[in-house]
Amino acid sequence: MENVFDYEDIQLIPAKCVVNSRSECDTSVKLGGRTFRLPVVPANMQTIIDEKVALFLAENDYFYIMHRFQPEKRSTFIKDMKSRGLYASISVGVKEEEYQFIQQLAEENLVPEYITIDIAHGHSNAVINMIQHIKMYLPESFVIAGNVGTPEAVRELENAGADATKVGIGPGKVCITKIKTGFGTGGWQLAALRWCAKAASKPIIADGGIRTHGDIAKSIRFGASMVMIGSLFAGHEESPGETFEKDGKLYKEYFGSASEFQKGEKKNVEGKKMHVEHKGKLQDTLIEMEQDLQSSISYAGGSKLDAIRNVDYVVVKNSIFNGDRVY
């Protein structure tokens, strides 16, 4: 593979500004027939999203994907969202009981607008079979399948019926897949995204490795329709999980979905747990993200998100931080 790079190796090149104010720039994006305020979705992880966060996001026109780690709550969750006139977006795995769950939803005529098949190694018959199963029983649902890291995988999942694919094996902050297995897109996630996007005929969700708001614009430039983010959303007042104080500072936990902590056993562990500084209100971060992305659009010389997709860029190997800290 030629031209391997990651987020910190790239700078996008400004084009002539066409707006009088960044507030004129529109960060909205369409996915599955709905328009969302930002091309950003908080990761479907237990320390990032719960029912309350999902409700807040849906009510405020953000995209969300509920995690799958309390499977017994999913039907009630879908009913609850629908009774409020909101869309339902859930995750499933690929084990036998998940097949029954999909059939049960169909029998109850409980159709989530979005279903994400969420497993570590998404380029597999297990995912292909689940896509086909969902399309047979819940043909109206928009199916996101992943995670994958190659064009072949994107094509196969799209051909199986996936409406979008999720790209990223191992670039996550609490991921240890790259260390434990030697595989993945960690360290070259942005180049992998570009590689996959060139093969895609449907939307791609870039998943993992976002460390700054500028990385959202870079993901859009390299082919993402939507960007999934964990660590930047961890540690908010509303984030699920324990809050604790150390040396007068507040912290919250953030753990991997394949961590021993999530699994409750030390088997095939590919994730870890960390503590992140308390970040205040989720809404403030979302607004800051929107403003930063509006600014990105203005630097791209446009007034809509699509302007970013065509900008030139340079590779500045490992040097954009120049010794600076992000914040």
Ligand X SMILES: NC(=O)C1=CN([C@@H]2O[C@H](COP(=O)(O)OP(=O)(O)OC[C@H]3O[C@@H](n4cnc5c(N)ncnc54)[C@H](OP(=O)(O)O)[C@@H]3O)[C@@H](O)[C@H]2O)C=CC1
Annotated binding site for NADP(+): 204-227
Output 81 or 234, the one with its CB closest to ligand LQESDW3C: 234
Binding mask 259-298 for ligand X (x = CB under 6 A): ---------x-x----------------------------
Q: Rule CB under 6 A: say whether 257 interacts with ligand X.
A: yes
Q: Rule CB under 6 A: say whether 175 interacts with ligand X.
A: yes
Which residue stretch of 2-10, 79-87, 171-179, 247-255 sits at the interface with ligand X (rule: CB under 6 A)? 171-179
Answer for the pair 266, 272: CB distance below 8 angstroms, yes or no.
no
Question: Closest separation between CB of residue 67 and ligand X, Å?
Answer: 7
Residue 173 binding: pick among ligand LQESDW3C, ligand X, none (C-beta 5-8 Å cut-off by kind): ligand LQESDW3C
Q: Rule CB under 6 A: say whether 42 interacts with ligand X.
A: no
Residue type, 95: K
SS3 category, 164: strand
Overall residue count recorded for the chain in this entry: 327
Q: What is the largest CA-CA distance in the chain?
A: 58
Question: Closest separation between CB of residue 25 and ligand X, Å?
Answer: 31
Question: Closest separation between CB of residue 119 and ligand X, Å?
Answer: 4
Dist. CA 228–CA 226, nearest whole Å: 7
Q: Rule CB under 6 A: say whether 120 interacts with ligand X.
A: yes
Q: How many residues bind ligand X (CB under 6 A)?
A: 20
Output 130 or 174, the one with its CB closest to ligand LQESDW3C: 174
Residue nearest to ligand LQESDW3C (CB): 271
Dist. CA 7–CA 1, nearest whole Å: 17
Which residue stretch of 24-32, 166-174, 213-221, 310-318 sits at the interface with ligand X (rule: CB under 6 A)? 166-174
CA dihedral 205, 209, 212, 215 (to 10 degrees): -50
Output 42 or 302, the one with its CB closest to ligand LQESDW3C: 42
How many Å separate Cα 272 from the centre of its chain? Answer: 18
Active site residue 175: yes
The token pair that represents 14 in the structure block: 């400004």
Active-site residue, from 17, 25, 175, 196: 175
DSSP character string of 237-288? TTSSS-EEEETTEEEEEEE-TTBHHHHSSSSS--B-EEEEE----HHHHHHH
CA dihedral 83, 89, 90, 91 (to 10 degrees): 180
Preceding omega of 268 cis (within 30 degrees of 0): no
Active-site residue set: 175
Interaction site with ligand X (CB under 6 A): 93-95, 118-121, 126, 147, 168-170, 172, 175, 177, 208, 257-258, 268, 270
